[in-house]
Amino acid sequence: MNTYTLSPAAKLRQILDRPGILVMPGCHDALSARLCEMAGFETAFMSGFAVSASRLGLPDTGLISYAEMLNQGQNICNSVSIPIWGDGDTGFGNAANIKRTVKGYAQAGFACIMLEDQVAPKRCGHTQGKSVVERNEAVMRIQAAVDARNEGADILIMARTDARATHGIDEAIARARIFDEIGADINFLEAPESAAEMERYCREVPGYKVANLIEHGKTPLLPHDQLEAMGYKIAVYPLTLLNAAIVSMQASLKALKSGTTAPLILNFSELTRIVGFDDYYQATERYRIDSVSDIQPPESGTNSHS
């Protein structure tokens, strides 16, 4: 079957079914998502941290709303053909809210939604001051998401636990196991602090597992082959592009302020190609009308709308 006829979720299932580890960059807007696709990545992750930073200029502490995340996701999903994973935070409320969030993300074009067990308002998993809900509420959130999927939302569910930081590795592993048992497609134990913890998680929890790799974060940045040998299926780098963009913008601003040429600047023709001017010109040429005589009326007796 032509993959272009598949839904984003079906495309992602095909990718996950293949052997080998899936390396996934993070994106925060339509342009960064397009760059991921142009670089040859098969999928990308819309990071809530990165969206909050780029859209609001604010930290990932639950300040961004469901509507803002959904709108950003629609723009991202519409800009690419690769399946996109979306950060759904805590689901933005109770079980009814969570089901609405899952359905909304599916309708926006996401292939997968990540939901977590932090107390709202949540915060980045590698920062201080996190707290998580009790285990039964955490299970309720993922059960509601799984139910929304089973009721027709065409989307995968990634269940995340942040319990390692608050309750220890034993509780985090217990939650991840339960999430897998109730039907989450992917499970995600956030911020293990050593290779030994990562190995234990992979050994004791079945299903597809995610390694969240943040430069200078809590989790060791291990090579892909080592992660795969441990049992990880996905290696996600949610903040690499945002980090690189900030460093480049700061260097460019410093150069401009000092009166020198900004470093690492694209040729203008390459910039216009990346943002889609070439495709736009081709489309306008295809539908250009030089004169009224170029328009051919339908034959007599035919219905132009049939």
Q: What pLDDT sits at residue 130?
A: 78
Q: What are 79's two structure tokens?
A: 């800009």
pLDDT at 125 over 50: yes
Q: Tell me the mean pLDDT in the region 16-30.
A: 98
**What is the pLDDT of the chain when averaged over all its residues?**
92
The Cα 110–Cα 95 span in angstroms is: 20
**Contact assessment for residue 29 and residue 54, using Cβ atoms and an 8 Å cutoff:** yes
- What would the pLDDT profile of 251-271 be if each residue is shown by its tens digit? 999 999 999 988 889 999 999
Q: Which residue from 135, 242, 148, 122 is spatially nearest to 178, judged by alpha carbons?
A: 135
- The reply to whether the predicted model has a pTM over 0.85 is yes
Place of tokens 């098969």: 42
**Contact assessment for residue 213 and residue 219, using Cβ atoms and an 8 Å cutoff:** yes
Q: Is 24 exposed, middle or buried (0-12, 13-18, 19+ CB in 10 A)?
A: buried
**Contact assessment for residue 89 and residue 133, using Cβ atoms and an 8 Å cutoff:** no
- What would the pLDDT profile of 165-210 be if each residue is shown by its tens digit? 999 999 999 999 999 999 999 999 999 999 999 999 999 999 999 9
The beta strands (E) that lie in 47-155 are given as 84-87, 112-116
- Which residues fall within 8 angstroms of residue 228, CB to CB, at 6 or more apart? 20, 21
Q: Which residue from 100, 89, 179, 186 is spatially nearest to 130, judged by alpha carbons?
A: 89
The pairing of beta strand 22-27 with beta strand 44-46: parallel
